[in-house]
Amino acid sequence: GLIHSLTTTPGNVHDITQVDQLLHGDEDRVWGDAGYQGVEKRPEHTERDVDWYIAMRPGKRSQLSNSDPLSEVEKIKASIRAKVEHCFYRVKRQFGYDKVRYRGLAKNTNRLYLLAGFTNLLRADSYRTT
């Protein structure tokens, strides 16, 4: 439930190119949205011993019937990803970072590191034992 790493890029860089910077190496499973399809085939991840759970593209998923077992698998993937996305809800809603301001990549990155730290402080309070 805590943010352990983040990376920012210009708008013309695809998310899949940043996966190696986001993983710390101790993962057993990696969950991602449809934008990360094909990540397991990239040369920097061929030696990783993880299970990749990447969502199906929305167009393909909409063609599945509700009774299809694959539809249930996609629903489970989405529910797990939703739990991971909760910390970004705080960054966007509680701290008001729902629209990126055009300040430059360095300033936006610094602001995101600060907001991620604040979010981790709020989330870590529930892990505290007294």
Question: CA 123, CA 120: separation in Å to the nearest integer?
Answer: 5
Question: CA 32, CA 52: separation in Å to the nearest integer?
Answer: 8
Cβ neighbourhood burial of 8 (10 Å; 0-12, 13-18, 19+): middle
Residue pair 39/19 in contact by the 8 Å Cβ criterion: yes
Report CA Rg, the chain: 17
Q: What's the mean pLDDT when you consider all of the chain?
A: 87
What pLDDT, in 10s, does the model give residues 34-89?
Answer: 888 989 899 988 888 899 999 998 888 888 888 889 899 999 888 888 887 888 88
Tell me, what's the pLDDT at 25? Answer: 80
SS3 69: helix
